[in-house]
Amino acid sequence: MDLSVVIVGYKSRDPLMECLAALESGGGPPRREIVVVDNSPGDGTAEALAQRFPDVRMIANRENVGYARAVNQGIAATSGRYVLVMNPDCEVRPGAVATLAEHLDRHPTGAVVGPRILNPDGSLEYSARAFPDHFTFLFNRYSLLTRWFPDNPWSRRYLMSDWDHTSVRDVDWLSGACLLVRREAIARVGAMDETFFMFNEDVDWCRRMKLGGWSVTYVPDATVVHHIGASRRKVAARIIVERHRGMIHYFHKHHPSNPVVALATDAMILLRAGLMLTANALRPR
């Protein structure tokens, strides 16, 4: 098997259908398998898959087990040389998967490659980033400080916004919205850390790949459109909590420091979580 596609869904039946349709028409390695891991059984996804995409296999979890664990379920259930891990709200443009696979074919030390990701309006999503530091929770992609002061040096460093993102480049990490990963690298480094429920598992995975001697590469000739709108509407409080819990776990795992510094960092992250929970509660549904 050349390619395994693993898509994790949660209440995403309609976007998933569009995602699979784009994959079907977008080309790629001829010998491939697709597995959907559904974290929200009973929403009609199984019936829609059986009707429209009968060759797609489905793993239905009884509850939401989290993104990292679901991805690992999909990896364990497949056998392709390369594993395309993607969100159901991604639309793969024609030729994108083949371009990513060809890059890994040419670079045997490559573990992870990612496409140029566009927002629905055609603007660039900064999916290739530097590793987070202790200021990133204040200056990340969605933070108010980044929105208010987009040219500040901390946001520019993290989002790599001084680079035009039009050339192939080895980077620290790539957004887990769409990644092509070499199975050999997964076997050597390990699958996703299931301590991360959702968010930050992609940063951790890329960091472990690089620590294992593999490369992580952005390939802009492959294009994917990410139909995401969660930042503009009300989300489940658990998502916000888990995102910040993941930040704390990441820093404790990769940046062990003086207990006083660690406590201060944790406190700031929790404060940010509280502010986001409050703002989210005030948003209309």
**Alpha-carbon distance 243 to 33, whole Å?**
30
The answer to whether position 98 is within a domain reads: yes
Q: What is residue 243's predicted lDDT score, i.e. its pLDDT?
A: 81
Q: What is residue 98's predicted lDDT score, i.e. its pLDDT?
A: 95
Query: What is the span of the domain harbouring residue 18?
Result: 3-126+165-228
| 3-state helix/strand/coil string of 208-231 | HHHHCCCEEEEEEEEEEEECCCHH
Q: What is residue 41's predicted lDDT score, i.e. its pLDDT?
A: 78
**Alpha-carbon distance 103 to 180, whole Å?**
10
The answer to whether position 116 is within a domain reads: yes
Nearest to 226 by CA among 141, 128, 147, 116: 116
Nearest to 195 by CA among 204, 182, 207, 183: 204
Please, which residues bridge with residue 169 across strands? 218
Domain count, the chain: 1
Q: Taking the chain (285 residues) in consecutive chunks of 10 residues, what is each chunk's mean pLDDT? A: 92 93 79 92 87 94 93 97 96 96 97 97 93 69 62 76 92 96 98 93 97 98 84 68 84 80 77 77 74
Q: Residue 220 has which token pair?
A: 């802009």
Q: Residue 144 has which token pair?
A: 């108010």
Whether 183 contacts 83, CB under 8 Å: yes
The answer to whether position 192 is within a domain reads: yes
The answer to whether position 187 is within a domain reads: yes
**CATH number, domain with residue 110:** 3.90.550.10
The answer to whether position 110 is within a domain reads: yes
pTM, full prediction: 0.88
Distance from the Cα of residue 149 to its chain's centroid: 25
The answer to whether position 221 is within a domain reads: yes
The answer to whether position 35 is within a domain reads: yes
The answer to whether position 62 is within a domain reads: yes
Element (H, E) at 190: none
